[in-house]
Amino acid sequence: MDAYLSLLESKPTDPNMHIINKSFFSPTFLTGFIKKYQSLSCLWNIKCPDYSNNAARQTGWEDLTDFCRTLFPNADVLWVKKKVQNMRGSIRKELKKINANKKSGDVYKPRLWYFDMLSFIRDVEANNVDSDSQEYADDEDLPPNIGCIQTLHDTFPDTSFELLKNERNKRRQDSESSSESSSAMFFTMFSQRGHKLIVLDGFKFRRDRETHMGKKWRCTVSTCNAQILTNHEKEEEVIQKMGEHNHGMSKKLPREFISNNLKQKHGKKEDIPLEILSAPPDLRCQITSADISRAKRNLTPRNRSKKVADFSGLVIPHENLCETILTMSSMDNQFKTF
């Protein structure tokens, strides 16, 4: 209990919390989540034969948690149950408003964009609308200290206790432990020109050539002779390290990972949260607000690839003017702009 209260008092500000919540309720993810939840009828349909089967329900929650882990690697069953509980609670509130407006002769339109997607549980929740004592009737699997967990979730609605504790521990790491974390990193990313890079021990390597022993990769710093060999079939398997780096680890990895990957996917600023969540955990905890701001600036039309440049949305005179300028610039200086 003291651990929960201490977390509530500290109220840490972590941008990852907002990102997690925003990404969970994004149409792309939540649509798939609701469909998965609907397919597991033992979790919501009281008429399902397995609804009272604890083993079957536990398996269902684990399946739903596995689905969440595709985007949230640290998700646990409790966190998923809380998300479901909050969604169902929101549905109950909307149903109460609908019933109240019916009595007064008014028509209320639900404000939740996913209200219709959860139509399969309306009949179940309709029975609980007028009963506050059944607020947690469908969450009997939750631990007895639900009140404390609910308070924590209301304060930090983007994460469970375990996720919050993990993020707090990451913030407490000193510079030495941060360096050790970086040295264990291995992942791939794009360069500014769209070439695949390997990041190992905080250093970037570009593809060199095939050898009889494996694929050779060179450090991206031209004056550095460090190289690595990877397996022909599995590039994540490093066979050999050759040479030493004559420079320090890159300090721009977080912002480069976000910016370069989004440029190749023709992404927008709105896609930055999902790109952050796709980053390796060791890299994700190093992302700062400055990295996010720099990534946004790098995604402005001036810095994007010409492949994604378009003039849609401009009024017709400006659109024609842009096309004229492009045509003139492609000619062999036959005309001059004024």
Does the pLDDT value for residue 163 go beyond 60?
no
Per-residue DSSP letter, 220: S
Total domains in the chain come to 3
How large is the average pLDDT for residues 278-295?
77
Is 203 part of any domain? yes
Is residue 63 domain-shared with residue 113, that is, in the same domain?
Answer: yes
* Residue linked to tokens 């992942």: 187
In this predicted structure, what is the pLDDT of residue 81? 93
Q: Mark which of 109, 128, 147 sits at the end of a domain.
A: 128
- The highest-confidence range among 85-89, 131-135, 139-143, 301-305, by mean pLDDT, is 85-89
Q: Is residue 292 part of a domain?
A: yes
Higher pLDDT, 327 or 37: 37
Instruction: With a cut of 70, say whether residue 14 has pLDDT above it.
Output: no
Q: Are residues 99 and 198 in the same domain?
A: no
* pLDDT of the residue at 12: 46
Distance CA 162, CA 37 (A): 22
Task: Give the integer Cα–Cα distance in Å for 61 and 76.
Answer: 9
User: Are 30 and 122 in the same domain?
Assistant: yes
64 pLDDT higher than 60: yes
Q: What is the extent of the structural domain holding 237?
A: 189-242
Q: Is 207 within a domain?
A: yes
Residues 116 and 23 in one domain: yes
Can you give the pLDDT at residue 166? 52
Mark whether 39 and 76 lie in a shared domain: yes
319-336 per-position pLDDT tens digit: 444 444 444 444 444 444
Of all residues in the chain, what percent carry a pLDDT higher than 70?
64
pTM flag (> 0.75): no
Kindly state whether residues 24 and 107 are assigned to the same domain. Answer: yes
In the DSSP assignment, the letter for residue 248 is P
- Residue 265 domain-assigned? yes
pLDDT exceeds 50 at position 220:
yes
Reduce the secondary structure of 294-321 to three states and give it as a string.
Answer: HHHHHCCCCCCCHHHCCCCCCCHHHHHH
Residue where a domain stops, chosen among 95, 113, 128? 128
* pLDDT for res 132: 45
